[in-house]
């Protein structure tokens, strides 16, 4: 297959870097011939294949000073696309920082035993993912409310991930949790220990109990799809098979963990920002791609190599159900509390904070505006966060003028 014009390297630049989009263009048709894809997966495949190519149109940036030109093609804006998440991530960070509480934060991760639940989760993706959110959030909120532990309402943000570093299916929940909470009467902020949230074994066992109970309720209500799930082939024996699986789940040790806070609350949210809009694999992890093999980084110096069709199959395994919300807020950070209890918590924490130090000789840079009545232009946001001004020529810093590119012309193959 000929390399599309958008992938051809500039003279002297060597071969183009591999991208998921290039693999989708080269092997997407073969993937669909060999595997049955859902409509959502087909849409993602089309979006990634056309992202930032002439197919979606674009404009030409021209510098009137030195004559520099560059073609800028439109993005697909699909949330599963590795090339389209940076702006959404930056805007999300701006909103999160505006709601940041001046306290410690913990990173909590809830995982499930893949060997027992992978088939059930794949067959019941939306129901299973919703149960993950409910079980994880209720575990943390219940432990926070427990008067023997904290006796207060926590704030937490939860993000769903479904992949391992080599793109296998592994649903798990990342949570950023406040290191303290607001009492029910709204009069007191109670802090956790600086390096300790809750016992890991208690977290794991309570999460296991809540998730299994939710799945058991779904089974009894006839909501679980069991066709094609290993162990449930015999329809007449599904009650027995489910009881057997449920017993195994209760007997299995589940793995959850909580990391102590690090680098301050802003650093924690910057860290979470790398999780919120992440997809299964970003382009910078791709090392090489040929007609028969794709090699990518997994962890540290380790790599994995897959056939391009298997690579795309695994990548598309992580396409979320239509309009599924993969990032949710609970407790003090729930939408219903943002303008009420969250503000009370901020006031209490501000009163507890030590007095500010005398200013240094060199004044620090002013904090960016975290909330605005109008949405900040993406060019201004990019300049503020990275120092890159895309309105200026990279050669002479002259002002770039944009001209629309003509729509692509397709030859009639009939």
In 13-68 the beta strands, taken as DSSP E runs, fall at 58-63
49-80 burial, b for 16+ CB within 10 Å, e for fewer? bbbbbbbbebeebbbeeeeeeeeebbbbebbb
| 255 close to 204: Cβ distance less than 8 angstroms | yes
Give CA separation, 334 vs 156, 245, 403, in Å.
8, 34, 44
Name which residue leads in pLDDT, 269 or 344: 344
Cα distance between residue 348 and residue 228, in whole Å:
54
Percent of the chain with pLDDT over 90: 55
- State how beta strands 327-331 and 155-163 pair: antiparallel
Cα distance between residue 39 and residue 33, in whole Å:
14
- Predicted confidence band of residue 250 (pLDDT cuts 50, 70, 90): very high
| Each residue's pLDDT tens digit, 381-411 | 666 766 777 788 888 988 888 888 876 665 5
- State how beta strands 155-163 and 69-73 pair: unpaired
Q: Which one, of 223, 307, 309, 208, lies nearest residue 255 by Cα?
A: 208
| Each residue's pLDDT tens digit, 279-303 | 888 899 999 999 999 999 998 889 9
pLDDT at 12: 40
Inform me whether the pLDDT recorded for 11 exceeds 50. no
Q: Which one, of 202, 218, 204, lies nearest residue 123 by Cα?
A: 218
| 279 close to 44: Cβ distance less than 8 angstroms | no
């Amino acid at each position: 297959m000929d390399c599309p014009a958008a992938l051809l390297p500039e003279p002297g630049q060597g071969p183009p870097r591999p991208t998921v989009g290039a693999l989708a263009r080269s092997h997407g048709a073969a993937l669909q011939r060999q595997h049955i894809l859902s409509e959502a997966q087909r849409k993602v495949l089309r979006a990634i294949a056309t992202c930032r190519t002439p197919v979606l149109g674009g404009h030409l940036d021209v510098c009137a000073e030195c004559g520099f030109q560059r073609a800028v093609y439109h993005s697909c804006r699909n949330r599963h696309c590795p090339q389209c998440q940076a702006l959404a991530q930056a805007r999300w960070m701006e909103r999160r920082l505006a709601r940041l509480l001046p306290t410690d934060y913990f990173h909590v991760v809830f995982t499930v035993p893949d060997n027992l639940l992978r088939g059930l989760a794949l067959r019941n993706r939306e129901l299973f993912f919703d149960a993950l959110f409910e079980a994880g959030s209720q575990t943390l909120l219940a432990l926070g409310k427990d008067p023997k532990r904290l006796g207060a309402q926590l704030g937490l943000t939860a993000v769903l991930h479904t992949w391992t570093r080599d793109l296998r299916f592994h649903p798990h929940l990342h949570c950023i949790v406040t290191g303290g909470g607001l009492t029910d009467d709204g009069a007191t902020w109670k802090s956790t220990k600086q390096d300790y949230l809750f016992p890991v074994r208690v977290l794991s066992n309570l999460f296991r109990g809540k998730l299994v109970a939710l799945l058991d309720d779904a089974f009894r209500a006839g909501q679980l799809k069991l066709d094609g799930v290993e162990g449930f082939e015999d329809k007449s024996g599904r009650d027995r098979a489910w009881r057997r699986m449920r017993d195994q789940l209760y007997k299995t040790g589940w793995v959850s963990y909580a990391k102590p806070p690090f680098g301050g609350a802003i650093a924690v949210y910057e860290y979470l920002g790398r999780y919120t809009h992440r997809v299964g694999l970003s382009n910078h992890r791709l090392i090489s791609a040929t007609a028969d093999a794709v090699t990518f980084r997994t962890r540290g110096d380790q790599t994995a190599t897959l056939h391009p069709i298997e690579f795309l199959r695994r990548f598309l395994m992580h396409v979320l159900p239509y309009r599924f919300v993969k990032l949710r807020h609970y407790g003090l950070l729930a939408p219903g509390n943002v303008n009420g209890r969250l503000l009370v918590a901020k006031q209490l924490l501000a009163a507890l904070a030590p007095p500010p130090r005398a200013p240094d000789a060199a004044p620090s840079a002013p904090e960016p505006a975290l909330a605005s009545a109008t949405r900040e232009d993406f060019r201004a946001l990019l300049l503020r966060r990275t120092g890159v001004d895309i309105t200026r020529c990279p050669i002479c810093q002259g002002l770039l003028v944009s001209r629309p590119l003509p729509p692509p012309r397709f030859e009639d193959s009939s």
